[in-house]
Structure 1
Amino acid sequence: MPLMLPSESAAARSVVGVADDLFAAVRGEGERRIRSGVIVVVDGLGAIGLRAHAGHARFLAGRMAKRDVAMSVFPSTTAAALTSILTSAWPGEHGLVGYRVLDRSRDRLVNQLSEWESAGIDPRVWQASPTVFERARDAGHPAFALGVAAYAHSGFTHATLRGAEFVAVASAGERVEAAYDLAAAHEGAIIYCYLPDVDQAGHKHGVDSPEWVTALENVDAALSRAIPEGVGVVVTADHGMLDVPAHRQSVFDETSSAMLHVRHFGGEPRMVHLYLHDDVDHERAAALWTSETDGIADVGTRAQAIAAGMFGPRVTDAAASRVGDLVIAARGNRALYDGTAADQRGRGMIGQHGSLTPEERQVPLIRLGALAR
């Protein structure tokens, strides 16, 4: 069946625009004025996962009302969603439409998190939407981004954090403390604090694992520290996560007739971009893949996915060129793998995301400090 976003409440917030809303509060626009603002992104922390583990996150869960939820973008993956948070643009505008997408000029898949340099991609060209930090800098406001030292000079950082002064801080607790110190010291600042611990534990060990729970507890403890007077804080996430057991993995290799049409198998296991050979009819290929994935995924052509608004209300030509000829969204807790790939390490990943389930797309949107209700 063709892809279609599940119905959502008309009142549902989107992660698109969250950072700009915080910056507006710093400028004194809207209901409240704040001295400075901090946006904390807890990578991989879904609203459902947080509520299910409220006893291990008493600070965050205790401050999360029923309405304190936002919807992530599609695909519900870091490259797409984090860029949307920090640019206030949908994936169809900023162009990071998946985890691994096709650079058609070089006919190669590019990992949107880690392969900018090796692929020779210019972050300012590939991701041309201005960031909230550029808007802040241009308006004369200080801007800082706190994260892991290894990410300081990556292509993805240049694509999403340009305009901010990057500050490398080791642990979650130290990072939050440094963010609050900067907010107190620099009036009018916009500050981004990235916490990857929950996502990393979920991928490796799974949601509900002792390691995931420990990561959640550490993040909760970090965020429970006192917030300086006048500083507004928004805590959100790029996506949630669910576990995909081995028996829910579907592997497509040379024995699958549908793979004969595939030139590149991109995206990620829960949201696949299939790039077909030039002479393949997209509608027929979609019908074949619908049959191959019956009951485990929804299949649509590029044209159908764009028309359905999957990547946002506007899709640039550049972004459209990176969308697969076919787009396949896994149902439930299923995942689809390229059995012909030389590297099969990804099949050991337990916690996953990228598709359309509430576990993946519903994220917290918690206001603290001067923004608390």
Structure 2
Amino acid sequence: MSLMLPSALETPRSITGVAPGLLAALRGEGDALRPVRSAVLVVVDGLGAISLRAHAGHARTLSAAMTKKSVGGAVFPTTTAAALTSLLTGVAPGEHGVVGYRVRHPDSDVLVNQLTEWEAAGIDPLTWQSAPTVFERASAAGHAAFAVGLAGHMHSGFSRATLRGGRFVPAGAAADRVAQAFELADTHDGAFVYCYLPDVDKAGHKYGIDSAEWVAALEDVDAALSQRVPDGVGVLVTADHGMVDVPAHRHLLLDAAGGWRDGIRHIGGEPRMLHVYTEPDADQAAILARWRRDLEGLADVVSRAEAIDAGLFGPRVTDAARARIGDLLAIARANYALYDAEAEDQRGRGMIGQHGALTPEEWRVSSIRLGAFAS
């Protein structure tokens, strides 16, 4: 089965090029970004380029700095765990190994949430995600490296997998996080500073991207980024992915009564991009054919081999990453979401804004230059 891949997944303007580009700017060797005294990477989780442009009046700082070239592509799947890891390592999920939201641990045969369950699952962040981080590379080159975020993220397994090599500096409100990032960049010449803003993503999940709450979160982030950038400091603002609103009538429930669990051991991933793991003795070809037939027009269903051959997980897929990818993948179209009706935890069905699939709203992200990068 052939897939129509977003072209941004295959261009140098993918988010995998962000970290290398910033380090090159610190060395004075960059082509895309001019040399700077210090560099700040601001990631606004969940803020897709299409949503930003649609709400430009509520984000005057960001929209004023946008140009026709201020758009790049995310990675697949368009989910925080995979995409943030790509942003902070410079490689695609097939190489860093964080290939989805909930994936099967090949050794224990259990599904593991890649954001929150590292410790509970006994996963070693240093080996599960072994690609060097931008912080490790910056430190090795003699640059101070910092990560500014919420205090609750400081000691998580995901942070140890993606932020290692940097000094974590906690801060509260979005404006405080941005101010802290700018101050660190200003007082440590040659520094690489990462600032994480999850506020928009949280509002989108709970209320949707056209809600008053989402707009308020966007306005708050935009106001935070309107602060004066110190002289000689370059700031790049991007996102890990975008988002679409999924109404309740577009929820597709995969239940045992409908035959969806026949031959299936685990359903992982997330509602817009399922990792489906079959039983060891199952007829995978028959299952693939059945899922394609029953989800025709609603989702693209591909085998692991087809997804890898199509380059969905990047140009290189390690053996470790391959073992974590589902035997088949169900990638939602339009604004549908696929739910495992047999799962114990059904809280995800309350989410309005969702992501994970390949629509332009999900994979197209902004790349906005402020400070010395814009001058």
Regarding TM over 0.5, the answer is yes
Q: Which residue of 2 aligns with 1:259?
A: 261
Q: 1:2 Cα shift?
A: 4.7
Distance 1:152 1:195 in 2: 14
Distance 1:142 1:13 in 2: 26
Distance 2:240 2:303 in 1: 25
Q: Cα deviations across residues 303-359 of structure 1 (Å, max 9, x unaligned)?
A: 110010000011000000000000110000000000001111110100000000000
Q: Which residue of 2 aligns with 1:228?
A: 230
Q: Which residue of 2 aligns with 1:129?
A: 131
Shift in alpha-carbon separation, 1:314–1:156, aligned structure 2, 3 A: same
Match of 1:103 among 102, 105, 113: 105
Residue pair 1:237, 1:363 contacting (<8 A) in 2 also: yes
Distance 2:161 2:8 in 1: 30
Q: Which amino acid aligns with 1:162?
A: R
Q: 1:231 Cα shift?
A: 0.2
Distance 1:108 1:186 in 2: 44
Q: Cα deviations across residues 208-239 of structure 1 (Å, max 9, x unaligned)?
A: 10000000000000001100000000000000
Aligned residues: 373
2:183 matches 1:212: no
Q: Which amino acid aligns with 1:296?
A: L
Q: Which runs of 5+ in 2 are unaligned?
A: none
Q: Which residue of 2 aligns with 1:338?
A: 340
Q: 1:7 Cα shift?
A: 4.0
Q: Which residue of 1 aligns with 2:182?
A: 180
Q: Cα deviations across residues 167-196 of structure 1 (Å, max 9, x unaligned)?
A: 010010000000000000000100000000
Q: Aligned with 2:62: secondary structure?
A: helix
Q: Which amino acid aligns with 1:28?
A: G
Q: 1:3 Cα shift?
A: 4.2
Match of 2:81 among 70, 75, 79: 79
Residue pair 2:243, 2:362 contacting (<8 A) in 1 also: yes
Calculate the TM-score normalised by the size of structure 1. 0.98
Distance 1:6 1:58 in 2: 28
Match of 2:173 among 162, 171, 193: 171
Q: Which runs of 5+ in 1 are unaligned?
A: none
Distance 1:309 1:281 in 2: 25
Shift in alpha-carbon separation, 1:44–1:10, aligned structure 2, 3 A: closer
2:350 matches 1:321: no
Matches within 5 A, 1:1-373: 1-8=1-8, 13-31=13-31, 32-372=34-374
Residue pair 1:258, 1:285 contacting (<8 A) in 2 also: no
Distance 1:291 1:9 in 2: 27
Residue pair 2:76, 2:357 contacting (<8 A) in 1 also: yes
Shift in alpha-carbon separation, 1:304–1:176, aligned structure 2, 3 A: same
Q: 1:30 Cα shift?
A: 2.2
Q: 1:8 Cα shift?
A: 4.7
Residue pair 1:232, 1:370 contacting (<8 A) in 2 also: yes
Residue pair 2:277, 2:328 contacting (<8 A) in 1 also: yes
Q: Cα deviations across residues 244-284 of structure 1 (Å, max 9, x unaligned)?
A: 00000100111122321110000000000000001112222
| Worse-superposed segment, 149-158 or 16-25 | 16-25
Q: Aligned with 1:16: secondary structure?
A: helix
Residue pair 1:4, 1:310 contacting (<8 A) in 2 also: no
Distance 2:187 2:6 in 1: 44
Q: Which amino acid aligns with 1:61?
A: S
Distance 1:288 1:135 in 2: 46
Q: 1:6 Cα shift?
A: 3.3
Q: 1:155 Cα shift?
A: 0.2
Shift in alpha-carbon separation, 1:341–1:10, aligned structure 2, 3 A: closer
Distance 2:321 2:5 in 1: 19
Over the matched positions of the two proteins, sequence identity in percent amounts to: 62
Calculate the TM-score normalised by the size of structure 2. 0.98
Q: Which amino acid aligns with 2:345?
A: D
Give the aligned CA root-mean-square deviation in angstroms.
Answer: 1.2
Distance 2:298 2:27 in 1: 47
Distance 2:223 2:141 in 1: 34
Q: Aligned with 2:269: secondary structure?
A: strand
Shift in alpha-carbon separation, 1:8–1:19, aligned structure 2, 3 A: closer
Q: 1:66 Cα shift?
A: 1.4
